Amino acid sequence: MREMILSNGVAMPLIGLGLYRINNGEMSRCVREAVECGYQLFDTAQWYGNEEGLGEGIRSCGVPRDRIFITTKLQSCHRVAQSINESLSRLRTDYIDLLLIHWPMGEDLTIWRTMERFYGEGKIRAIGLSNFYGEDLEGILRGAEVVPHVIQQELHPFRQQANLLKYYRKLGIVPQAWSPLACGKNGLFENPVLLRIGKTYSKTPAQVALRFLVQCGICPLPKSTHRARMAENMNIFDFELSEEDRADIRKLDTNRGLFGWYD
C-alpha cells in the first residue's frame, strides 16, 4: 500500500520528493532520477521559486501527467485566484493535485474560499494547509465548506506531535511531514537508537525514521538531490518496525520544533 486515500477519494502517494532548495537548473535531472526511483509526488511551493523547473522536469521526463502528483503552496493572501492561475501556468498543467496555504497569513478563510472554488471547478484535486495550529486551524474549520484533506507540518522522530495526529485522524485529515529527516539536525543520521534499530533490518537511520512516520500514518516528503539517497529514502517498504522499536523511537520526541518557526 504505497498511497494514502484522502477523504475525497483522491489517491496520494505515501512518499514524495521535497523540492525546497532545489533550483530550476537542477530540477529536470532530479525529477527524472526521482521518477526512476519510483517517486510520483513532488512537493514545491510558490516560495521555493522552482515551479517552472518542476513543470519543465515533468514534461521532459515522459511520464503521463496523471501518473504524477503535484503539490504546491500559496505564499500570499493577495490576488489569490490570479496567483493560482500563475502557478498552473508555471507548472504547465491544467490542474494541481494538492494546493496548500503555506502558512497562516491573515485573510486565511478568504484564501480558503477561493481554493474551494478552484477545487469545485476541478482545477485542484485536494486542498489543505501547512503550519496551521490552534486558532488559525480552528478558524478555517469553522468557516470551511471543504474540510482540509491534508495538513503539512514539521514531523520527524524529534517532533512527533502525537496529540495533533489524533485530532487530524478524527477529522479525516491526512498528515504530511515536512523535514521528515529533521534536515539532518540533532544528528539524526548518526542517532544511536535509529542506528541500532536499523542494524536489525539492514536499514539506515534515514530509512528507519521514514518508516516510523509511515507506520504512524504520516506521509513523508524527504528531499535529496542525490539519486542514491532518493532511492534509499524510497526503499522502506520491505520491513516493518516492531512495537518495541516504535516505543524506543517515541522516546526521541523533544516536543518542540527544531527550526524555530511555527512552533
Ligand X SMILES: NC(=O)c1ccc[n+]([C@@H]2O[C@H](COP(=O)([O-])OP(=O)(O)OC[C@H]3O[C@@H](n4cnc5c(N)ncnc54)[C@H](OP(=O)(O)O)[C@@H]3O)[C@@H](O)[C@H]2O)c1
Which residue is closest to ligand X by CB?
Answer: 18
What's the min distance (Å) between Cβ of 224 and ligand X? 3
> Which of these is catalytic: 20, 39, 48, 119?
48
233 makes contact with ligand X (CB under 6 A): yes
Catalytic: 48?
yes
Cα–Cα distance measured from residue 237 to residue 167, given in angstroms and rounded to the nearest whole number: 26
Shortest reach from residue 31's CB to ligand X, in Å: 13
> CA 180, CA 222: separation in Å to the nearest integer?
6
Q: Which of 30, 127, 181, 236 binds ligand X (CB under 6 A)?
A: 181
> Under a CB-based contact definition with an 8 Å cutoff, are residues 114 and 145 in contact?
no
- What does the per-residue mask of binding to ligand X show for 96-115, with x meaning CB under 6 A? ------x-------------
Q: Does 133 bind ligand X (CB under 6 A)?
A: no
Q: Are 30 and 170 in contact, with CB atoms under 8 Å apart?
A: no
Which helix (H) or strand (E) is 130 found in, with range? strand 127-130
- 18, containing H or E segment: strand 16-18
> Alpha-carbon torsion 258, 154, 90, 117, what sign?
negative
**Under 8 Å CB-to-CB from 234, ≥6 apart: which residues?**
15, 37, 38, 39
Contact window for ligand X (CB under 6 A) among 76-84, 111-119, 227-235, 241-249? 227-235
Question: In angstroms, what is the minimal distance from the CB of 156 to ligand X?
Answer: 7
Least spacing, CB of residue 131 vs ligand X, in Å: 5
Among 50, 150, 223, 241, binds ligand X (CB under 6 A): 223
* Residue 13 amino acid letter: P
| CB of 140 closer than 8 Å to CB of 132 | yes
Q: Given candidates 87, 93, 191, 224, which one binds ligand X under the rule CB under 6 A?
A: 224
Smaller CB distance to ligand X: residue 123 or 229?
Answer: 229
Quick check: helix, strand or coil at residue 226? Answer: coil
Q: Pick out residues in 20-79 that bind ligand X (CB under 6 A).
A: 20, 43
Taking the complex as a whole, how short is the minimal distance between the CB of residue 119 and ligand X, in angstroms?
19
- Provide the sign of the torsion angle of the four alpha carbons 191, 252, 38, 93, taken in this order: negative
Q: Which residues are catalytic?
A: 48
Note the residues at the interface with ligand X (CB under 6 A): 18-20, 43, 102, 130-131, 152, 178-184, 189, 206, 221-226, 229, 232-233
